[in-house]
Amino acid sequence: MIREFGGRERKASVHVVLPAELSQFLNRRSYSLLIKGEAATGKTILALSILKELGASSNYLYLSTRISPSQLFENHPWLSEPSKTKKPGSDPVEQDEVQNQNRFVDARLDEPAPFFERITDELMDARSPTIVIDSWDPIGAMMDEEALVSNTKVLQAWRERAEAKIVTLIEDSDNISFDSLFDGVIALDRYYEDGRVVRMMQLSKLSGVKVTRPSHLFTLDGGIFQSFRAQSPLEIETQESAGWAWERMTRSTGYSELDAILDGTLPSGTLVHLNVTSGVNSGTVLLLLSAILGRGSPRSRTMFFRPFEGIGLEKASGALGDVIPIRQARPRGGSNGSETWAESLRDLVKKQKRAKRGQKTFAVVGSEFLLNAGGKEDREALLELMKSEIDLSVLVSDGETPLESAARGADVSLKLSSLNGTPLLEGQLPWTEYFVIAANALNGALMLRLVPMV
């Protein structure tokens, strides 16, 4: 069975993101790539995404030994999207002929001999083709290991002569008998952390390419492969002067509270608890705070701020706009002792509301602000004030300081962590899966978005 890669009906644009080292490897004229991973790790989607990156007008043969091509197209509707417009001045008939060479083949019933004949015929007939074998396991199960290795060597020799590209998928991640026969070896893994999916790609071998970062987080969101690069603290600090912006939401995250945070529709009096784990730099914290609080002009809001570890007044002002510092509680005369933090903040809020009527009020404070408020009653009073007098408050903790009162009083609780140098956001109240904070440079500035890791 043969099916075209590309159709008449135009679908939504597909955006594939591959690691830079892998993209460099794929730009070679000829290579063999082995993609390893257990079932459901994303091997097929990666192979299809590679074809997408190479362009549907390239000559290729997709041999499917596990699933019918019609099922592939049903599972991944974006395969029907035309991948390239015709070049001006080129022969449309010739382009159509090239596109007709692009095909998916149902090889589920193939025996080893006709299967290898399909590949060798393609290598002899097509010029610089790309061949995807999805997957090697059913064919390998019908052959002894010595014969399988021998046939693999023959295919590699044919591939080099034809200046072709061969991408082979196998499910046995522990099998290293083929690694030396391929120019590139990639391993995909999927595991769970606290019930949340984590997907990791290992660039085990890419001949001719310097691999500076062998591990990459990725997602299969939307049925396509998207990897994520790490954001270094220095890069974030450099970008602060150029500014950043969060991409406008085009679809729901699947969690109403998280949607409300990102589109600014949280109800007045909301208290957000942001738990930041070790390994997350202050620049990433400010990037997330800018999404929660927005970057409106001083005329549209009042922002109260209490400096905390890693983020002072100057840094907060640069990221969030003008802020009003929350000063230390003042001593009071008589036997009443010192003014409480709640009283100090209440006075500051009343003063600003009188001066700028109608403005929304925000507050960002660290965990020490709450811990230094006094006893339990003082902390409860401070939390109650923030929920009754301030439109949106964010309480940032370092992940180690116990803040049971904040956790109980928070309307939304988020956790910001870092894995493999990539920032991850998870909802703890309500529970959400991992969301990667993806950052791409655009015209010197950072464009940020939340991408679910699914």
291 and 410 share one domain: yes
> pLDDT-derived band of residue 242, with 50, 70 and 90 as boundaries?
low
- If asked whether residues 52 and 150 sit together in one domain, one would say yes
Q: How many domains does the chain have?
A: 2
Q: Write the CATH number for 221.
A: 3.40.50.300
Q: Is pLDDT above 80 for 296?
A: no
Contact of 201 with 186, CB cutoff 8 Å: yes
Degrees, nearest 5: CA angle 160-166-168? 140
Are 198 and 246 in the same domain?
A: no
What DSSP designation does 105 have? E
Residue where a domain stops, chosen among 227, 258, 284:
227
Angle between helices 282-293 and 233-240 (to 10 degrees): 50
Handedness of CA 94, 96, 102, 104 (dihedral sign): negative
For 343, counting Cβ atoms within 10 Å of its Cβ (0-12 exposed, 13-18 middle, 19+ buried), the class is middle
Task: Report d(CA 136, CA 140) in Å as an integer.
Answer: 6
55 lies in the same domain as 195? yes
C-alpha to C-alpha distance for 416 and 344, rounded to whole angstroms: 30
In the DSSP assignment, the letter for residue 112 is H
Residues 28 and 64 in one domain: yes
Is residue 41 over pLDDT 90?
A: yes
Provide the CATH number for the domain around residue 274: 3.40.50
Residue-wise pLDDT tens digits, 318-346: 778 888 998 776 655 544 555 677 888 88
Question: Residue 18's pLDDT band (boundaries 50, 70, 90)?
Answer: very high
State which of 193, 227, 261 marks the end of a domain: 227
Residue 193 has pLDDT above 90, yes or no: yes
Q: For 61-113, how does the pLDDT look when each residue is reduced to its tens digit (9 = 90+)?
A: 999 999 999 899 888 888 776 544 444 455 544 454 445 344 799 999 999 99
State whether 248 and 380 are in the same domain: yes
Does 298 share its domain with 162?
Answer: no
Looking only at the bridges linking them, the beta strands covering 244-246 and 226-227 are unpaired
- Rounded CA-CA distance 277/262 in Å is 21
77 φ/ψ angles, rounded to the nearest 5 degrees: -55, -25
Name 304's bridge partners: 324, 363
CA trace torsion 410, 412, 417, 423 (10° rounding): -150
- What the block records as the tokens of 364 is 């960002």
The Cα diameter of the chain in Å comes to 98
For the stretch 128-161, pLDDT in tens is 889 999 999 999 899 998 898 898 999 999 999 9
Q: Does 422 share its domain with 315? A: yes
pLDDT at 287: 85
pLDDT (mean) for 307-317: 86
| Gap between the Cα atoms of 300 and 297, Å rounded | 6
Model confidence, pTM: 0.86
Indicate if the alpha-carbon torsion angle 400, 403, 406, 410 is positive or negative.
positive
Angle at 300 between CA 425 and CA 302, to 5 degrees: 70
DSSP characters for 215-272? Answer: EEEEE-GGGS-EE-----HHHHHHHHTT-EEEPPP-S--S-HHHHHHHHT-PPTTEEE
- pLDDT, residue 283, reads 85
Among candidate residues 227, 256, 281, the one where a domain is terminated: 227
Same structural domain for residues 343 and 421? yes
Residue 186's contacts (CB-CB under 8 Å, 6 or more residues apart) are: 22, 33, 34, 35, 36, 46, 201, 202, 203, 204
Cross-strand bridge partners of residue 288: none
**pLDDT-based confidence at 453, cuts 50/70/90?**
very high
- Pair 182, 240 in one domain: no
Whether residue 398 has pLDDT greater than 60: yes
The DSSP string of 23-91 is HHHHTSSSEEEEEE--TTSSHHHHHHHHHHHH-TTS-EEEEESSS-HHHHHHH-GGGGS---PPPTTS-
Average pLDDT on 403-418 reads: 81
Are both 389 and 375 inside the same structural domain? yes
143 burial level (CB within 10 Å; 0-12, 13-18, 19+): middle
Q: What percent of the chain has pLDDT over 90?
A: 42
Enter the tokens of residue 186.
């990639």
* Short-list 430, 437, 432, 130, CA closest to 273: 430
Same domain as 137, residue 20: yes
Tokens read off for 180: 């030396």
245 pLDDT band (50/70/90 cuts)?
confident
Full domain range(s) for residue 17: 2-227
